[in-house]
Amino acid sequence: MKTPLAKVIFIAGILFCTTPYASPPIALLLGFILSLTIGNPFQKYNSKATAILLQVSVVGLGFGMNLFEAAKAGQEGLLFIIATIVIALSAGIFLGRMMKIDKKISYLVSSGTAICGGSAIAAVGPVIKAEPNQMSVALGTVFVLNSVALIIFPLIGNYFNLSQSQFGLWVAIAIHDTSSVVGAASKYGTEALQVATTVKLLRALWIIPLALVTSFAFKSEEQKISIPYFIFFFVAAMAVNTFFPQMHSTGEVILFIAKKGLTVTLFLIGAGMTRTALKTVGVKPLLLGIILWILISVCSLAVILNIK
């Protein structure tokens, strides 16, 4: 439905997400409900708006973080990141063959699970020359799991009484997309948000070596690699916050706006899941995604509970 009323309702939903009453899970669910009922009247702009708003908001979060503390968190999570990437990719490729799933779809789902969901899929897709329907299946699978994770991970964290740093590290490893990682962590606490954002963006940088390795594995060296440049702006924002204390008051305003921006981002992500997109998620790819997600989530949680 693309009537003026639908546009008014949709814009009202966005405005609601800027209020204190809208948490990340509520924003995601609201967008999803509106998409399935009245439809998204701005669907053709949704994907680009989501990507831009997410990147700008993540950069804004840097104004609330200390560069040295972030570096320490990233260093602690580095080996963890490498191990989970290798496990997810290896298990995904093996299970994909066992389940007789299309090679490119299983690789896309595995890449999204291993690194950073939709961003990794979007970067690797052109490298392996994936068809639009293959990309849709992988993105749909990751979206469904991200939506579930955003809601249940804080509950699991509270059940196991995870500390702020433990939870931040766990969600950065076990949840696919940056938006859902930040959404879950922000609901858990400020320290969890700082750790999760830093470790997650460090994990996202592995898109670059993954794309390089993929280009050789699939013999498509001519394809361009999509580099997540916004991560470097995030680091610059942390540097400003660390070395220019006179900017703290301005940084607090930017941080506030960034958090609201992330909530709106989750609303747009929910609004981007149409009935057609839901139908593209086949049973086998979804099952593969669930198995990999549970594997990484359980293994990483077990390690965190034992080393912290």
DSSP 257-294: HHHHHHHHHHHHHHHT--HHHHHH--HHHHHHHHHHHH
pLDDT mean over 285-291: 89
Residue 90 lies in a domain: yes
Residue 200 lies in a domain: yes
Residue 231 lies in a domain: yes
And the tokens for 36? 């399935």
Least-confidence region, from 81-90, 104-113, 263-272: 263-272
76 has a pLDDT exceeding 60: yes
Residue 97 lies in a domain: yes
Q: Residue ranges of the alpha helices (H) in the chain?
A: 4-16, 24-37, 43-61, 67-98, 103-114, 118-127, 132-159, 164-174, 178-188, 190-204, 207-217, 230-243, 248-271, 275-280, 283-307
pTM across the whole model = 0.72
The CA distance from 273 to 184, in Å, is 19
94 has a pLDDT exceeding 90: yes
Residue 181 lies in a domain: yes
Report how many domains make up the chain: 1
Measured CA to CA in angstroms, residue 276 lies from 3, 13, 280, 283 at distances of: 20, 22, 7, 15
Distance of CA 120 to the CA centre of its chain: 10
Q: Which of 144, 143, 202 lies closest to 172, judged by CA?
A: 202
282 has a pLDDT exceeding 80: no
Residue 205 lies in a domain: yes
pLDDT mean over 1-16: 86
Q: Which of 84, 99, 93 lies closest to 170, judged by CA?
A: 84
Amino acid identity of 112? G
pLDDT mean over 248-273: 85
75 has a pLDDT exceeding 90: no
Residue 19 lies in a domain: no
Predicted pLDDT of residue 19: 92
pLDDT mean over 83-93: 89
Q: Which band of pLDDT confidence, cut at 50, 70 and 90, is reported for residue 224?
A: low
pLDDT mean over 74-103: 85
Predicted pLDDT of residue 257: 92
Instruction: Give the residue numbers spanning the domain of 126.
Output: 66-261+275-307
Distance of CA 93 to the CA centre of its chain: 21
The CA distance from 70 to 112, in Å, is 24
pLDDT mean over 68-97: 82
pLDDT mean over 264-291: 79
pLDDT mean over 81-94: 89
222 has a pLDDT exceeding 60: no
Please tell me which residue, 228 or 161, carries the higher pLDDT value.
161
Q: What mean pLDDT, rounded, does the chain reach? A: 82
The CA distance from 134 to 148, in Å, is 22
Residue 54 lies in a domain: no
